[in-house]
Amino acid sequence: MDQEDRQKNMKELIKQLAEVWGPSGYEHRVRATLQAMVAPYVEASYVDGLGNLIVRVGNGGKKILFAAHMDQIGMMITYREPSGFLRFSPIGGLLRPTLVGQRAVFEDGTVGTIGVHDQWGTARTHLPDLDGFFIDVSDGQGGDFQHGQPAVIESRVISRGSRIVGGALDDRVGCAVLVKALHDLNKQCANTVYMAFTVQEEVGERGAAPATFGVQPDVAIAVDVTPTGDEPKNLKLPVQLGAGTAIKIQDQGLLVSPAVQAWMVATAEQHEIRYQREVLHMGRTDATQMQLVGRGIPTGAVSIPCRYVHTPSETVDEHDCYQTVALITGLANAPIPDFVA
Ligand SMILES: [Zn+2]
């Protein structure tokens, strides 16, 4: 498979992006990977003062901004015990049940093992707070690891039929979808289309506002994963894996206006895109901050259904990814109404 073919294949694209090391605040490797990937498909690009990568294609119609975040959840070393074991705090929404026995990867490639206090005793039934966990980097090159160094949980992406499984799919799958959309647009679009690959979403959507301020779009769309409700005994959520892309109606940080909802739904139906209406009573995305920039920006969100979010085995379906790409290219070419008329 040559480079061009790889960029048409969603599984390959996701694997190339999701295995790159990049916790919040340390997105430089992801950004460099994306810059190389999108270079053939964009007309302009810049990196802003916070580290967001923003690219543009087209110069007609109105300005539309899509955003996907580059960062992944991780850990920050807070203290080194005299014995050499490392203590850590979370970067973003790290889930304690996912940690025991996992591998913590540092930027230089050193892999530590995550252990827990009293593994064979109380930890069998009751996980301690995060200060009851530690990282073991013994007998490696890690003798000089100190506080202030970040790490991520090891991510290896595999596929099982149409399912794609790995860590950091939140939100490298969103980044992959934007790369594929840029590829498919091939510098031809009715609107002036900006795509922002943002920093620090997992620690409170810190990159999204400056990225949006730099573009001043007429409409903004966040592209991120959303949890599904189709696993056994899980939360009652309407979105299902493999049932198409999701058009957000509401989450904890966003109420999409009826006008933006209607525009997105009409575009999906016009292109015969399989979609679901998403209502999420937990979590938020970059859209939370994008809508608040300047005098207010009409804002929506497109979501990729994902099981086991914030675990090392986040699971998406490639068909949902392709439907999401189709909706994004459809919106990039759609007439953009005055949402607040
Ligand atoms: Zn996310």
CATH number for position 89: 2.40.30.40
Does residue 339 lie in a domain region? no
pLDDT confidence band for 141 (50 / 70 / 90): low
Encode pLDDT of 292-310 as tens digits: 999 999 999 999 999 999 9
Q: What is the pLDDT of residue 103?
A: 97
Distance 69 CA to ligand 1 centre (A): 7
User: 141 and 225 share a domain?
Assistant: no
Residue 201 bears catalytic tag: yes
Domain finish residue from 97, 131, 153: 153
Average pLDDT estimate for 183-192:
96
Give the pLDDT band of residue 65 (cuts 50, 70, 90).
very high
**For residue 280, is it within any domain?**
yes
Task: Please indicate, yes or no, whether residues 105 and 246 belong to a single structural domain of this protein.
Answer: no
Largest CA distance in the chain: 66
Same domain, 81 and 95: yes
d(CA 146, CA 123): 26
Query: How far does residue 301's CA lie from ligand 1's centre (Å)?
Result: 12
In a domain, 341, yes or no: no
Å from CA of 252 to ligand 1 middle: 14
For the cut 90, the answer to whether the pLDDT of residue 7 exceeds it is no
Quote the ligand 1 centre to 169 CA distance (angstroms): 8
State the distance from the centre of ligand 1 to the C-alpha of 105, rounded, in angstroms.
Answer: 20
> 180 and 260, same structural domain?
yes
28 domain-assigned? yes
Q: Are 163 and 269 in a shared domain? A: yes
Would residue 340 count as lying in a domain? no
Asked whether residue 338 is assigned to any structural domain, the reply reads no
Q: Are 191 and 322 in a shared domain? A: yes
For the segment 70-85, the average pLDDT, to the nearest whole number, is 95
- CA 182 to ligand 1 center in whole angstroms: 20
Going from the Cα of 170 to the center of ligand 1, the distance in angstroms, rounded, reads 5
Determine the pLDDT at residue 3. Answer: 56
**pLDDT above 90 (res 219):** yes
Pair (217, 305) in one structural domain: yes
CA of 210 to the centre of ligand 1 (A): 17
Residues 212 and 254 in one domain: yes
pLDDT for position 163: 97
For residue 280, report the distance from its CA to the centre of ligand 1, in Å. 13
Q: What percent of the chain has a predicted confidence (pLDDT) above 70?
A: 96
- Mean pLDDT, range 90-94, rounded to an integer: 97
Cβ atoms within 10 Å, residue 142: 19
CA 79 to chain centroid, in Å, comes to 29
Is residue 146 domain-shared with residue 29, that is, in the same domain? no
Provide the pLDDT for residue 143: 59
**283 and 173 fall within a common domain:** yes
Structural domain range at position 141:
75-153
53 and 187 co-located in one domain:
yes
Residue 303 Cα to ligand 1 midpoint, Å, equals 10
Q: Which of 104, 123, 153 is the last residue of a domain?
A: 153
Predicted pLDDT of residue 146: 82
Residues contacting 129, CB < 8 A, separation 6+ = 96
The answer as to whether 205 is a domain residue is yes
Distance 341 CA to ligand 1 centre (A): 32
So what's the pLDDT on residue 250? 96
Q: Which of 153, 181, 199 is the last residue of a domain?
A: 153
This prediction has a pTM of 0.96
Q: pLDDT-based confidence at 4, cuts 50/70/90?
A: low
Contact by Cβ (8 Å): 110, 140: yes
- Do the Cβ atoms of 196 and 297 come closer than 8 Å? no
Residue 139's pLDDT band (cuts 50, 70, 90): confident
Same domain membership, residue 292 and residue 183: yes
Mean pLDDT of the chain, nearest integer = 95
Q: How far, CA to CA in Å, does 122 sit from each of 37, 102, 125, 259?
A: 48, 19, 6, 53
Give ∠ CA 312-316-322 in degrees, rounded to 5. Answer: 145
* pLDDT band (50, 70, 90) for residue 247: very high
In angstroms, the CA 93 to CA 70 distance is: 15
Residue 282 confidence (pLDDT):
87
The CATH number of whichever domain residue 262 belongs to comes to 3.40.630.10
Does residue 306 lie within any of the structural domains?
yes
Number of domains present in the structure of the chain: 2
Q: What is the pLDDT of residue 70?
A: 98
Which of 27, 201, 278, 318 is catalytic? The answer is: 201
Cα(138) to centroid(ligand 1), Å: 33
